[in-house]
Structure 1
Amino acid sequence: MSTPTPSLPPALERPHFIGIGGAGMSGIAKILAQRGAAVAGSDTKDSETAEALRALGVTVHIGHDAAHLAETTTAVVVSSAIRQENPELAAARERGVPVVHRSDALAALMDGARPIAVAGTHGKTTTTSMLAVALGALGLEPSYAIGGDLDAPGSNAHHGGGAIFVAEADESDRSFHAYSPEVAIVLNVELDHHANYASMEEIYDSFVTFAGKIRPGGTLVVSADQPGAVELTARVRDRLDRPDLGIVTVGAAEHADVRITAVTPRGLTSEVTVVLDGRPLTFTVSVPGRHYAHNAVAALAAGVAMGVPVEELAEALAKYTGVRRRLQLKGEAAGVQVIDSYAHHPTEMTADLEAIRSAAGPDARVLVVFQPHLFSRTRELGAEMGAALALADASLVLDIYPAREDPVPGITSALVIEAARAAGADVAAEHDKGRVPEVVAGMAKPGDLVLTMGAGDVTDLGPLVLARLSG
């Protein structure tokens, strides 16, 4: 059943987004445009996402310039990646235009809705997407904001007519503290985002704060298997005086409230059996790998906590067929499949490589083109990244993708390569991305799978590899 479109907060009636092409920013901009706001913004380069926003009537400038800020702008929306010296941000401050963090803008959009917030070091985008697709398939018309596109540029967000709002909750800069969900999912808790967290203690404290934001009578869905999530559950119970807070644990552990008893690979899909309220339930997950199955079960538990019938939701979850950059098949040429993976943390890399191994034929080789993401992450986790690459048959390692960071002396992709070789991996450095298609074409044989892996622009190489293989 549809609900009336909520009114816009006055500050967000004519917003200007700096970095509007980013995954999180573009989603909020899209929802605001669909709700009637006059949205504008800028980004460093044009993109398919920018074109998708323009199709909604959004004004998108390329490049950053104070002149892009209209006289009628009611707020400037920024993410933590926007530098203080950005000319549009400086102009907003000079003119007294309110500056709003993207998390506060998203929180304002969720006001009046029934939010589900999906958190964790890994798996947020997939789990949020699974919920958005399944709830949509059931006719519940959810709104959603996801950190990746479902099937096309601009499909990372939608203003729906229903009461439920599903949102990816980003812990990287503590911005998920802005949300007050009815149901929160925590998939896992690991050390990451080293520029913002100095220790696991700080990360646990941050996730406890997030759990404390759950609305009265709400529910925390949390992994019963992942050690960090188990520790978080203990801390939530110990630190939060919240007898009203329901805690639902999910996983393969014997004590899990929603217990996974089997995950059976079926090619590029999986069959999952769970026990919930003492009753077994089997359903299909249309993507490979145990970790995706666990994400689906977390989504199932969250939907049930919102009052969605479990059998209907389980069937609807099979409608999810993946999200761009999450083990996305880019194509096949000369008998070689090219798959794109967003994995950039060692746990994600290991999970995706294991998933591909389980789906590949017995004679197929797995070849990886890996691009480390961020100097701070490579400094702290480069050895673990290298160890993960030992699961591939051969790997090319590119230079570090800096994103928002400045170079750090002595921190290069050599850290990953040295660790990979120490783990017995067949790995080589490639400093020129332009050479990758030729090098991969020389390595790959019919039946092989090629993974472009990382959170940076390594994703652009998949089509080029396919073109070279075709030629």
Structure 2
Amino acid sequence: MAPGIPTAMDRPHFIGIGGAGMSGIAKILAQRGAKVAGSDAKESGTAQALRALGVTVHIGHAAEHLADDASCVVVSSAIRQDNPELARAVELGVPVVHRADALASLMDGLRPIAVAGTHGKTTTTSMLAVSLSELGLRPSYAIGGDLDAPGSNALHGDGDIFVAEADESDRSFHKYAPEVAIVLNVELDHHANYASMDEIHESFETFAGRITEGGTLVISADQEGARELTRRVTAGDVRVVTYGEAEDADVRVLSVVAQGLKSRVTVLLDGQELTFTVSVPGRHYALNAVAALAAGAALGVPAAELAPALAAYTGVKRRLQLKGEAAGVQVIDSYAHHPTEMTADLEAMRAVAGDARILVAYQPHLFSRTQELGKEMGEALALADSSLVLDIYPAREDPIPGVTSELIIDAARAAGAEVTAVPDKSEVPALIAGMAKPGDLVLTMGAGDVTDLGPLILDRLSK
């Protein structure tokens, strides 16, 4: 067994190994020398990237995929109890480990930064990973999205810092014990697991309580849910650092100036003014960068060095990612699936577009989220000039009677939006090509397979 691999993790089998969170852990274990195997529902670039590291990846789920010598089976909350590989593991008495426990074990002995919040986790984690790497600190990291290629969501570095995205959706972020924790925002989401804002706050309080003695909580001073959490948290030996545009912020944002697809940000930190570039558009991404700056400074990285290094971050897959241009039309992919995210991305694009039109192909994500937030999703789409709304992407959920995309469409039209229902996703490229004019921006928006439409739209536009 190679050093740095927990004994139970030296021969792990991952069910759903192609997922963003699962593949990152598998990749780090493989880089540390573990014998890693797993399965996924379909072939992907991530599966190929894992194989290049020596990982055995099966396509499809079957009991025989679980090797006789597996030391454990790693699952996420999305894996159902009737999965044949999970059932086989239970039958054989192979330990079943939740993804969060596996990730927590990889942080042991290092200096973890855990990035939490209802929105912006992947971007902020990526900003830290890239900027700390730019400074030669060789961090390990596990991100919920790819930086620049399939499989680039994680890395085993030989430095002492570990940057991890901390997922609140199933309360699994309670497993981590970070030296520095970031809370970007606190909003009601994940309605299958949280019944109220009070439950959300209780969950984030538990996460904040996991910060190690003498550690730091970096938290937004602007967002009301985060401010409420700050009021609730009993700091004890934990230092609380707030950031944002609010006058009482410890790390205060003095200005955010849009410069095309970039922003110029000036902050006041420890009495020192720092100005730096954020290489992606949008005020929300600028604030993510400030959170990353505050967290790095809390860990002892000189802010004057970290600030310019943040410019090395040029984006992550699906976060306002330019997919290409054809016939004078730019096609951009947005992972936004919560109304706050949708609004932020559309406002960022509006600042870039000027007089150009914004056309959106939106795919709602989860029946439970649509049931609770469909009205707000529709209102967010009013920021676009025209939208196509697809059927709900179910992901891990079963349908809920009466919950369809019509909830969003009705709300959008009530808000004055131009919206068209498109039940057949394959019709979208032709519809967009018929609508778009030179100079327009097209957004494929949502957390499901709507991302696959970008290349098809570009191909149709080019004909």
Q: TM-score, normalised by structure 1?
A: 0.98
Displacement of 1:8 = 1.1
Q: Over residues 35-69 of structure 1, what are the superposed CA-to-partner deviations in whole Å (9 max), with x where a residue is unaligned?
A: 00000000111101000000000000011000000
Other-structure match for 1:243: 236
CA distance, structure 2, for counterparts of residue 58 and residue 326 of structure 1: 28
Q: Over residues 394-453 of structure 1, what are the superposed CA-to-partner deviations in whole Å (9 max), with x where a residue is unaligned?
A: 000000000000011100000000000000000000011111100000000000000000
Other-structure match for 1:228: 225
Displacement of 1:311 = 0.9
CA distance, structure 1, for counterparts of residue 345 and residue 219 of structure 2: 21
CA distance, structure 1, for counterparts of residue 378 and residue 415 of structure 2: 7
Q: 1:447 aligns with which of 439, 448, 457?
A: 439
Q: Does 1:152 align with 2:144?
A: no
Other-structure match for 2:72: 75
Q: 2:121 aligns with which of 89, 113, 124?
A: 124
- Return the letter of the residue paired with 1:12: M
Q: Does 1:364 align with 2:361?
A: no
CA distance, structure 1, for counterparts of residue 3 and residue 152 of structure 2: 21
Displacement of 1:10 = 1.2
Q: 1:345 aligns with which of 338, 363, 378?
A: 338
The alignment-based identity, stated in percent, is: 78
Other-structure match for 1:174: 171
Other-structure match for 1:399: 391
- Return the letter of the residue paired with 2:295: A
Other-structure match for 1:333: 326
Per the alignment, in what secondary structure is the counterpart of residue 274 of structure 1?
Answer: strand
- Return the letter of the residue paired with 2:352: A
CA distance, structure 2, for counterparts of residue 419 and residue 196 of structure 1: 25
Other-structure match for 1:293: 286
Q: 2:259 aligns with which of 251, 261, 266?
A: 266
- Return the letter of the residue paired with 1:168: E
CA distance, structure 2, for counterparts of residue 407 and residue 276 of structure 1: 48
Other-structure match for 2:192: 195
Which segments of 5 or more consecutive residues in structure 1 lack a partner in the other structure? Answer: none
Per the alignment, in what secondary structure is the counterpart of residue 100 of structure 2?
Answer: helix
Displacement of 1:93 = 0.3
Other-structure match for 1:434: 426
- Return the letter of the residue paired with 2:369: R
Q: Over residues 308-338 of structure 1, what are the superposed CA-to-partner deviations in whole Å (9 max), with x where a residue is unaligned?
A: 0111100100000000000000000000000
CA distance, structure 2, for counterparts of residue 235 and residue 94 of structure 1: 44
Other-structure match for 2:249: 256
- Return the letter of the residue paired with 1:104: D
Q: Does 1:456 align with 2:448?
A: yes
Per the alignment, in what secondary structure is the counterpart of residue 198 of structure 2?
Answer: helix
Other-structure match for 1:215: 212
Q: 2:131 aligns with which of 126, 131, 134?
A: 134
Displacement of 1:23 = 0.3
Other-structure match for 2:348: 355
Other-structure match for 1:469: 461
Displacement of 1:244 = 1.3
Q: Does 1:63 align with 2:60?
A: yes
Q: Over residues 13-41 of structure 1, what are the superposed CA-to-partner deviations in whole Å (9 max), with x where a residue is unaligned?
A: 00000000000000000000000000000
- Return the letter of the residue paired with 2:256: V
- Return the letter of the residue paired with 2:455: P
- Return the letter of the residue paired with 1:416: I
Q: 1:18 aligns with which of 5, 11, 15?
A: 15
Displacement of 1:277 = 1.4
Displacement of 1:243 = 2.7
Other-structure match for 1:27: 24
Q: Does 1:161 align with 2:158?
A: yes
CA distance, structure 2, for counterparts of residue 209 and residue 288 of structure 1: 33
Displacement of 1:363 = 2.3
Which segments of 5 or more consecutive residues in structure 2 lack a partner in the other structure? Answer: none
Q: Over residues 360-380 of structure 1, what are the superposed CA-to-partner deviations in whole Å (9 max), with x where a residue is unaligned?
A: 1x3210000000000000000
Q: 1:411 aligns with which of 403, 406, 420?
A: 403
Per the alignment, in what secondary structure is the counterpart of residue 318 of structure 1?
Answer: helix
Q: Does 1:422 align with 2:419?
A: no
Displacement of 1:201 = 0.6
Q: 1:42 aligns with which of 39, 42, 63?
A: 39
Displacement of 1:278 = 1.8
CA distance, structure 1, for counterparts of residue 148 and residue 59 of structure 2: 25
Q: Over residues 280-331 of structure 1, what are the superposed CA-to-partner deviations in whole Å (9 max), with x where a residue is unaligned?
A: 1111000011000000000000000010011110010000000000000000
Q: Which runs of 4+ in 1 moved over 6 A?
A: none
Other-structure match for 2:313: 320
CA distance, structure 2, for counterparts of residue 281 and residue 73 of structure 1: 51
- Return the letter of the residue paired with 2:265: V
CA distance, structure 2, for counterparts of residue 373 and residue 123 of structure 1: 17
CA distance, structure 2, for counterparts of residue 218 and residue 259 of structure 1: 21
Q: Does 1:89 align with 2:86?
A: yes
CA distance, structure 2, for counterparts of residue 275 and residue 444 of structure 1: 43
Alpha-carbon RMSD across the aligned residues, in angstroms, is: 0.7
Per the alignment, in what secondary structure is the counterpart of residue 436 of structure 1?
Answer: helix
* Aligned residue runs from structure 1 range 106-125, under 5 A: 106-125=103-122
CA distance, structure 2, for counterparts of residue 37 and residue 406 of structure 1: 36
CA distance, structure 2, for counterparts of residue 363 and residue 440 of structure 1: 19
- Return the letter of the residue paired with 1:193: H
- Return the letter of the residue paired with 2:417: A
CA distance, structure 2, for counterparts of residue 87 and residue 414 of structure 1: 36
- Return the letter of the residue paired with 2:344: A
CA distance, structure 2, for counterparts of residue 71 and residue 389 of structure 1: 51
Q: Does 1:280 align with 2:273?
A: yes
CA distance, structure 1, for counterparts of residue 401 and residue 4 of structure 2: 50
Displacement of 1:7 = 2.4
- Return the letter of the residue paired with 1:7: G
Q: Does 1:378 align with 2:375?
A: no
Displacement of 1:6 = 4.4
Displacement of 1:347 = 0.1
- Return the letter of the residue paired with 2:459: A
